[in-house]
Structure 1
Amino acid sequence: MPQTDVLIVGAGPTGLVLALWLHKQGINFHIVDQAEAPAKNSRALVIQSRNLELYRQLDLTDEILQHGHKLSATNLWADGRHRTRIPLDKFGCDLTPYPFLTILPQDNHERLLENRLNSLGAFVQRRTQLLDFVDHGASVTANLLSETDGSKTTWEAAYIVGCDGAHSAVRHGIHAKYEGDTYAPLFYIVDIDGGDGPLFNEEAHLTLTRGQFLLLLPYSQKRHVRLVGTTLSKDGSLDEHKDQQQQVTVDDVMPQIKDALNVETIKVNWFSTYRSHHRVADKFRANRAFIIGDAAHIHSPVGGQGMNTGIMDAINLAWKLATVLKPSSMTEEAKDQLLGSYEAERRAFALKLVESTDRGFTMVSSNDWIPYILRRWVLPYVAPLIPYFPSVGKEIFRTGSQLILSYRGSFLSQAAGTSGDIQPGDRLPWAKTKQGDNFSSIQYITWQVHVYGDSRPDIMEWCKRRNIRLSVFDWDEQHGKVGLQQDAAYLLRPDHYIAGIFAGDLMETQLDEYFSSRGLTC
């Protein structure tokens, strides 16, 4: 019987990221997918700033940026009039090294990730279906079917992870409910070339006309764009017959596209329609089986959050699986508690995200009277004010780029003893000084301690004894501006969220207590 540490079912972005992060930490895995090859087209286009930050752990960020298109601004149009331009680079420049959206079609993204995996000597077993699996308590056995020759193979693994999308076999295997609903509008996606006019300026554009929602995203400098929109009924209202099987062609939507873009000729490369859903599984884990990405949650397309959230799931789970799989003195109870923090942290965020994207999508698409008033009479007049209120713009950027994501209250976050805006569970804030930035050590997937100012000898000795990386940064006023405390010790998790903030004469004792109380080893 073939054996591995982690059996990964599904080789989309979430599965590939999970595989790459496990490989980096020396964990064996086997990854399978039913598809014969990576997708040839895609709905997901946006890579958010937080994922670019974490992609530095595998030296992937520069390659992503090389193949992607930096989107530094987005524009709002209403009833054919340009209402405002929101400069993302202006609002995000003090928050992250990547103050923009990166547009990279999911199919290109997948190929890039899989090529990196192949370069490491690991490969996806394709045309392979998960038939079922059994959790024996101490291990999992999974039955796989090769669609190439019809052969069946049973694999034994310490853990199984379902990255297998909305119809996940792993989710069905753990008997998780997938609660939510289907949005009424029928969406279309169209890939076009060579457009002309003010909307083809390499920036994003959101147009709101009557019931129509149309988002334009460029992904090259050659006027190559992707349009995402909602179909209209013959009377011009939003088509909300979600229970009907509609046969919509590109010819059906072309008049409204040309009208919204104010163009006469469009070259269409690709067209598709789909229904969008909002659902969250009632559990993300059952003993040795986990679900991540679309297998666990799906969202409206507003904000480009779905794929990014799945990738964050993978990174969150990868270091926890690696921790419990490596030889250590951790008890079974401590291992179970650490793995349980995956569901606690990620499901809570998924629920919040579904709620916020649902509100956003309802506001831009629904024909109910309150969203209509907001869309027609409030948003076009309020949005132009955003550039004049930098704090509001920064908050919008932090939310959309997932920099705002926090695990405050998690089992892994120190409960009390700190003050200020930055708290345990938060993302480590980025600070750029004349000496460089404090993300220089972000490439390491390991526990770390950061000190901004003077490091006490006992902390240096503690880190050496524990084999924990210590980074000391000369104090700069910029550190204070982003909320960091002078001379405090910041304990960082392997995914670079703050586990604890320690100050005073008992820092060494407090750090020991953090690990011992959670049964963790470094």
Structure 2
Amino acid sequence: MKPQTEVLITGAGPTGLVLALWLHKQGIKIRIIDQAESPAKNSRALVVHARIIEMYRQLDLADDLLEIGYKLPATNLWVHKQHKARIPLGEFGVELTPYPFMLTVPQDEHERMLEKRLNDLGIHVERRMKLQGFVDHGSSISATLFREVDGISETCDASFIVGCDGAHSAVRHAIGAKYEGETYKPLFYIADIETRDEVANGEGNLMISNDTFNLIVPYNKEGHVRLVGITIPDNNDTHHNESTEEEHKITFDDVRPQIKEAMDMEIDKVNWFSTYRSHHRVADKFRSNRAFLVGDAAHIHSPVGGQGMNTGIMDAINLAWKLATVLKMDMEDEAKHQLLESYESERRAFALKIVTSTDAGFTTLTSKGIFPHILRNWLIPYLVPLAVKFEHAQTQIFRGGSQLICNYRGSSLSQKGAAGVVQPGDRLPWVRMDQGDNFSMLRDIGWQIHVYGETRPLVDAWAQRMNIKTFSFQWDEQYAKSGLTKDGVYLLRPDHYIAGIFEGPSIVSRLNGYFSARGLGC
């Protein structure tokens, strides 16, 4: 007997809400629970990157997000109160994406937007509901849920369970996944403040001073900024757990002197202040049969680059179409396993890369010693202004920071043997034309075919039989500049990464081969 709930989602942060929305869009019955009484009123995550906004177009969420967000045009580098460089992020990405900027949206507002959309669809987060445990029967799961309002436990049968329940994930503990990594020694502070100072100029500002840093990020209200930094330099080897009680006593007044040392800024009002420890950890597995880990339940990073929440949202979108495919298609068990296994292989590999890069950035900003001091105070201020003058460096900076760099080359879902600048597993390059762009077609959650050049009637007929939408684009040299091949047939996955690139004869036969080899039908 088929369970009434197809996917049980634990955790209603951005990753859980995105997963719920993407699954519902594909006709999947979901249930989403959260221990908290209400959505978060304060948040650490602030930046939403270009790749996320691109994907939000699938559910017509992009414009809603842009309406509540603030487009960050540039970031400035300061060393000992001396301005060293301005990095105009909006100029770096104009040829790469329709959203060439960093968007700042407080996480609580972001969550409210997502939850409102979910509510409009008739789905509500079941709050003050705790997962006590679950049993994986092989063909389904049975979860025990505890309702804190009345103290009643119930059993929820579902086809799958997904842990979007944060760093202390009950789902992760239940599947016995190790959470490998470390806790950084420095203690962070985070504050929302109001200031009329010139440093609140609508741009980001990174202030380096000796062995500390302070980061100013504006968001959607004039003069309202997020301030992040290290509270007190760690001058001894005391293990962080021994000082937890003292950490909670730290107030904004305790960090005012070091803020003053780093920048001349008059603070009018402090709306919120908190301290926290940052970690870098990745679970040793993201899946155990019918249980999955998404977002902070699977990986956490240093705050450098604002990658954590964005990576979690991409996890959710990657998993959603694969769960929906397995639930809706009559696939062989081995094909189901391979498709679901690709979630872990693709997303864990990317999480490890993000952890490595953010760890390197964090270490550069906070490490003690002569070489890190020289690097921060002399080499970086010299090299950054030089590097950003070159187009290649600009492109790499934007691609790396905006998650456009994410690819699934080598995945079992990526066609083997194709060569070129753009390869299977890559994000489809965005190309802007006079009449529009090639991303305007990417509004559905489903397989697509794009042909750049001459249309192919046999391919069109095959796609119609398969119920796959096909779009043809008249060839233009702009496509070549983006790495696309003339007359190439590009098969796109439901998350709009390139599954295969087909050229020459027998394309229909090879398309059939792609789907049949993966048990996806032909």
Q: Residues of 2 paired with 1:495 and 1:264: CA distance?
A: 46
Confirm whether residue 295 of structure 1 aligns to residue 297 of structure 2.
Answer: yes
Q: Residues of 1 paired with 2:267 and 2:109: CA distance?
A: 27
Confirm whether residue 88 of structure 1 aligns to residue 93 of structure 2.
Answer: no
Residue 78 of structure 1 aligns with an amino acid whose one-letter code is V
Of 258-267 and 490-499, more deviation after overlay is shown by 258-267
Residue 314 of structure 1 aligns with an amino acid whose one-letter code is A
Partner of 1:453: 453
Q: Which of 272, 283, 303 is matched with 2:274 structurally?
A: 272
Deviations 1:105-153 (A, max 9, x none): 1111001100000001100000000000000001000000001010111
For the 8 Å contact 1:202–1:220, the answer to whether it is kept is no
Q: Residues of 2 paired with 1:238 and 1:455: CA distance?
A: 68
- Structure 1 gaps, min length 5: none
Partner of 2:102: 101
Deviations 1:53-95 (A, max 9, x none): 0000000000100000000111100111000000111110000
| Within-5 A mapping of 1:224-263 | 224-233=224-233, 242-243=240-241, 244-245=243-244, 246=247, 247-263=249-265
Q: Residues of 1 paired with 2:397 and 2:453: CA distance?
A: 31
Partner of 1:138: 139
For the 8 Å contact 1:211–1:238, the answer to whether it is kept is no
Partner of 1:123: 124
Q: Residues of 2 paired with 1:82 and 1:139: CA distance?
A: 59
For the 8 Å contact 1:186–1:240, the answer to whether it is kept is no
Partner of 1:502: 502
Aligned in 2, Cα 1:67/1:19: closer, same or farther, shift over 3 Å?
same
Deviations 1:275-324 (A, max 9, x none): 00000000000000001000000000000000000000000000000000
Q: Residues of 1 paired with 2:59 and 2:266: CA distance?
A: 45
For the 8 Å contact 1:238–1:367, the answer to whether it is kept is no
Partner of 1:216: 216
| Within-5 A mapping of 1:78-477 | 78-197=79-198, 199-233=199-233, 242-243=240-241, 244-245=243-244, 246=247, 247-326=249-328, 328-416=329-417, 418-477=418-477
Deviations 1:323-355 (A, max 9, x none): 0000x3311110111000000000011111111
Q: Secondary structure at 2:250's aligned position in 1?
A: coil
- Structure 2 gaps, min length 5: none
Q: Residues of 2 paired with 1:5 and 1:97: CA distance?
A: 35
Q: Residues of 1 paired with 2:330 and 2:164: CA distance?
A: 30
Q: Residues of 2 paired with 1:238 and 1:45: CA distance?
A: 31
Kindly report the root-mean-square deviation, in angstroms, between the aligned alpha carbons of the 2 structures: 1.5
Partner of 1:514: 514
Q: Residues of 2 paired with 1:387 and 1:310: CA distance?
A: 29
Residue 51 of structure 1 aligns with an amino acid whose one-letter code is I
Residue 252 of structure 1 aligns with an amino acid whose one-letter code is D
For the 8 Å contact 1:212–1:238, the answer to whether it is kept is no
Runs in 1 of length 4+ with deviation above 6 angstroms? 236-240
Q: Residues of 1 paired with 2:509 and 2:455: CA distance?
A: 15
Residue 432 of structure 1 aligns with an amino acid whose one-letter code is R
Q: Residues of 2 paired with 1:291 and 1:437: CA distance?
A: 35
Aligned in 2, Cα 1:370/1:242: closer, same or farther, shift over 3 Å?
farther
Residue 188 of structure 1 aligns with an amino acid whose one-letter code is Y
Q: Residues of 2 paired with 1:419 and 1:350: CA distance?
A: 25
Q: Residues of 2 paired with 1:157 and 1:221: CA distance?
A: 43
Partner of 2:72: 71
Q: Secondary structure at 2:232's aligned position in 1?
A: coil
What's the CA shift for 1:371? Answer: 2.1
What's the CA shift for 1:419? Answer: 2.7
What's the CA shift for 1:476? Answer: 1.0
Q: Residues of 2 paired with 1:134 and 1:395: CA distance?
A: 45
For the 8 Å contact 1:73–1:86, the answer to whether it is kept is yes
For the 8 Å contact 1:231–1:239, the answer to whether it is kept is no
Partner of 1:61: 62
Q: Secondary structure at 2:484's aligned position in 1?
A: coil
Q: Residues of 1 paired with 2:225 and 2:37: CA distance?
A: 27
For the 8 Å contact 2:424–2:500, the answer to whether it is kept is yes
For the 8 Å contact 1:321–1:339, the answer to whether it is kept is yes
Aligned in 2, Cα 1:239/1:47: closer, same or farther, shift over 3 Å?
farther
Of 328-337 and 122-131, more deviation after overlay is shown by 328-337
Q: Residues of 2 paired with 1:264 and 1:123: CA distance?
A: 43
Q: Residues of 1 paired with 2:269 and 2:258: CA distance?
A: 15
For the 8 Å contact 1:230–1:238, the answer to whether it is kept is no
Residue 91 of structure 2 aligns with an amino acid whose one-letter code is K
Q: Residues of 1 paired with 2:407 and 2:3: CA distance?
A: 39
Q: Residues of 2 paired with 1:207 and 1:194: CA distance?
A: 16
Aligned in 2, Cα 1:169/1:404: closer, same or farther, shift over 3 Å?
same
Q: Secondary structure at 1:380's aligned position in 2?
A: helix
Q: Residues of 2 paired with 1:345 and 1:490: CA distance?
A: 20
For the 8 Å contact 1:210–1:237, the answer to whether it is kept is no
What's the CA shift for 1:506? Answer: 1.2
What's the CA shift for 1:195? Answer: 3.1
Q: Residues of 1 paired with 2:99 and 2:433: CA distance?
A: 16
For the 8 Å contact 2:196–2:266, the answer to whether it is kept is no
Residue 276 of structure 1 aligns with an amino acid whose one-letter code is S
Q: Residues of 1 paired with 2:451 and 2:476: CA distance?
A: 12
For the 8 Å contact 1:187–1:275, the answer to whether it is kept is yes
| Within-5 A mapping of 1:18-37 | 18-37=19-38
Q: Secondary structure at 1:455's aligned position in 2?
A: coil
What's the CA shift for 1:457? Answer: 1.1
For the 8 Å contact 1:77–1:207, the answer to whether it is kept is yes
Residue 170 of structure 1 aligns with an amino acid whose one-letter code is V
